[in-house]
A and B are shown apart, each in its own frame.
Chain A
Amino acid sequence: MAEEGDKALIVFDYIYHAMRAKHVLDKAGFKIKEVAPPVEYRTGCDLAIEVGTADVDAAEAILEENKVIILDILFMPKGTNLVPVFLTKLIKTWDYGDYMMVRCGNMKITYRKEDGVIVNLSGGG
């Protein structure tokens, strides 16, 4: 039987599925956390979703229902400390006058201030 506080890690092949999983589980009211999986559990995608073990079956069912492809579900040893992903720490803005560039890590989005239209994207490598 799962103990209070035990965690499971839902891992994915591709970032597309990881991001969709976050959206689906958030919307369904699950308490989740986006984390960097530990080295030994790294796969093609380095964004994973941490859920309480009591929620695993329900989370898996709702992801399947929404056609989100899960690579695996890992039950983490007690005390495993996963690194939360705080992308907001990596955000910085540049003012170009009529335009604003927002950089998050190595991704850049530039938009026109007048109407908010995105005019350039960079750093998708």
Chain B
Amino acid sequence: MLVIAGTIPIDGMPLTQGPYIYQKDKVTIGDYVLEGKYVTLGTAAMASAASVTCQALGIDRPHLVTYGDTGMGDGTVKILEYLAAEVANMKPDVLTLHYLLPTKEPFIKLVEAVDAVQPRPFFIADAGALLNAKAIGLAKKFDLFTPDPGELSFIADAEAPHPAYVQHFIFEVDDKEIPKLSAQAYANGDAPKYLLIKAAVDHVVVDGKVVGEIKEPLVPALEAIGGTGDTITGVVSAFISSGMDPQEACLKAAQVNRYMGELAQPTPATQISELIPHIPEAVRKVMST
């Protein structure tokens, strides 16, 4: 079972967990229903992408653990405490952490709890969870990070306390910066075995070395659309949960995201909710090639 955990910025949303089922303009998390704009808000964008991918692959839908958090950190702590207590019973094959605010002790307790689960889940972090894992020195406890170039700049800088304070920031993705920073992050102990770097050219990195680049199809508008990094993380989580080799899953997830864009023909004003319905067809296209 794929378990996804992260906050959704809805004031007053209680701790909510259960199978995540996506339909256009509506999702259900156990008995809880989200509609309209909330369907792709915060961690919901990633969970929606994972859910439609699981459906396309014919495997169980993901299980989401979430809590409303509008930036005060209370939801993050509730999620981490719940997971630390329950992860041994949930027995996920893949556990993906997403929008979480910086926190130390509850995060360490969860990582320790995940370490104790047998068999150990494949452990993925994106967004706030990725930044937090690096900031408190726990990157090596994870198997896959899915950073964008900004997040990569942060994990490659051993001294940076925050993504805004990095010594070197990537603006233009070329064939030198990403390999260099990926190797640096890995050598510093601040990157896990696998990295899937989401950019104009996507990179797959294993043990600090680039093993794949995905350039086509190029849909420039995707860069401007909020949530297109979240969808890759959702898709790769689903692929790995299906039993696919992690390296192959990273390569295929990046392709799926690009085909999703090509199928939708977006403008910079297109919303992520208009892209997600194209994922099943993109998955079928990638799986048939």
Contacts and interface: CB of A to CB of B under 8 A. Distances in A.
A98 B233 CA distance: 29
Interface residues of A, number: 35
B221 interface: yes
Given A16-B71, A125-B131, A96 B161 contact: no
Contacts, number: 100
Given A85-B164, A101-B268, A120-B268, A108 B101 contact: no
Given A90-B169, A99-B267, A99-B268, A120 B226 contact: yes
A13 interface: yes
Interface stretch (B87-95, B146-154, B256-264, B281-289): B146-154
Nearest to B72: A14
Contacts of B268: 96, 98-99, 101, 110, 119-120
A58 interface: no
B55 interface: no
B35 interface: no
Interface string B226-250: 1111000000000000000000000
Contacts of A99: 224, 267-269
Contacts of A39: 161
Nearest to B271: A120
Size bin of chain B's contact surface = 35 or more
Which of B99, B151, B164, B227 has the largest count of A CB atoms less than 10 A from its CB?
B164
Contact of B99 (A14, A85, A125): A125
A74 interface: no
A37 to B, nearest CB: 8
Contact of B148 (A14, A37, A106): A106
Contacts of A47: 162
A36 B165 contact: yes
A85 B224 contact: no
A42 interface: yes
A36 B161 contact: yes
Interface string B181-221: 00000000000000000000000000000000000000011
B151 A125 contact: yes
B224 A110 contact: yes
Contacts of A123: 148, 150, 226, 229
Given A99-B267, A121-B226, A125-B130, A42 B161 contact: yes
Given A46-B161, A120-B271, A125-B229, 19 more contacts: A14-B101, A15-B71, A36-B161, A36-B165, A44-B104, A83-B165, A85-B164, A85-B165, A96-B224, A101-B224, A105-B163, A105-B164, A106-B163, A110-B268, A119-B268, A122-B226, A122-B227, A123-B226, A125-B128
22 contacts: A14-B72, A16-B72, A39-B161, A44-B104, A47-B162, A83-B165, A96-B224, A96-B268, A98-B267, A105-B164, A106-B150, A110-B224, A119-B269, A120-B270, A121-B226, A122-B224, A122-B227, A122-B229, A123-B226, A125-B98, A125-B127, A125-B229
- In order of increasing CB-CB distance, the 10 nearest A-B pairs are A106-B150, A125-B127, A46-B162, A119-B269, A122-B226, A99-B268, A110-B224, A101-B224, A96-B268, A121-B226
